[in-house]
Amino acid sequence: MSLYLEMPEFEEQLLFRAFINDGMTIVYPHWHKEVEIIYSIRGTVNIGVGDEVVHVAEGEIYFFASGEPHYFLASPDSERIVYQFDLSVFNEKQLKSAEDCSLIELFETGEKHSSKWSKSLYLDIKKLLQQLFEETEQNKQGKNYAQFALLFQLITTFYRRLPQTQIKVKKGAKASTIKHKETLEHLDRIFNYVENHYDETITLEEVAKYSGFSPYYFTRFFKANTGTTFMRFLTEYRINQAKFILANEKAPMIEVAEKAGFASVKTFHHVFKEHVGISPLKYQKSFMEFV
């Protein structure tokens, strides 16, 4: 099975989101730089991690470290809450003490399945996750502050009480490469560049120079660690931006194309239809029916 890169779309600047997936939502092999926590609230959730399948029973918790490949198999009659957050939320450069391991290491070497935690740790993390989801759903005043506080509490709890494992991180597709901190930092730099400049003209040579690589090495590096070429990734990122705009704004196509980073409406229409299967206008109208 192929491995692809996922870039979660966060609605808030907090770079955190929580949502429910049912058991029939199959998620193909992918990875992302964000940490992901799964809380099974009904039935058993079957997760592929590397070459193994992990069964997360009702009430259990499991997490994926930054860059860890994973996928979800059909898990009939089950439901899971998915939590994703970017480690940059925690301002590690300012807050990490000399005694602390890095946040990447904390999640890489920690015991990922709650079935192997102490009962008290499990109950405390479960409570924090429930509170995080409640804050997400209720949308009360000060929601971001509450989520921020709960995320920091979760990290502190993991630092002090999460069992550490001596087992090396499981090797999935290309996990031996993407697990290195230096590689993740390079990828993070590339992704941030795309996030900040996708609506401008971006050449492979420019982003390679920004990353500190030659175009030749950058091309090989990006393909090896994401499973796709940089230009294809950039196109897909722009299409996702266009989808969001089309679904949420009643904007003319020329404006959508410009906001999403396409050079012309003609190019935008051709690329969008090729990737999505319908024209941008038809895609927009399918959402406007419900407004």
Query: 3-state DSSP: the chain helix, strand, coil percent, rounded to 5?
Result: 50, 15, 35
Average pLDDT (248-273) is: 94
Residue 92, pLDDT > 50, answer yes
Contacts of residue 184, defined as CB under 8 A and 6 or more positions apart, other chains included, come to 33, 66, 67, 104, 178
Domain covering 180-288, topology:
Arc Repressor Mutant, subunit A (1.10.10)
* Strongest mean pLDDT among 125-129, 188-192, 227-231, 272-276: 125-129
Read off the pLDDT of residues 132-191 as tens digits, 9 standing for 90 and up.
Answer: 999 999 989 999 999 999 999 999 999 999 999 875 544 443 444 455 567 777 887 888
- Bridge pairing between strands 4-5 and 27-31: parallel
Delimit the domains of the chain by residue range. 4-161, 180-288
Q: Which two tokens stand for residue 5?
A: 């890169």
Does domain 4-161 sit in CATH 2.40.30.10? no
pLDDT of residue 119: 98
pLDDT of residue 173: 39
Helix 280-288 / helix 265-276 crossing angle, nearest 10 deg: 70
Report which of 172, 157, 164, 152 is spatially closest to residue 67, judged by C-alpha positions: 172
Backbone angles phi, psi at 185, to 5 degrees: -65, -40
Average pLDDT (274-290) is: 83
Please tell me if the domain spanning 4-161 has the same topology as the one spanning 180-288.
no
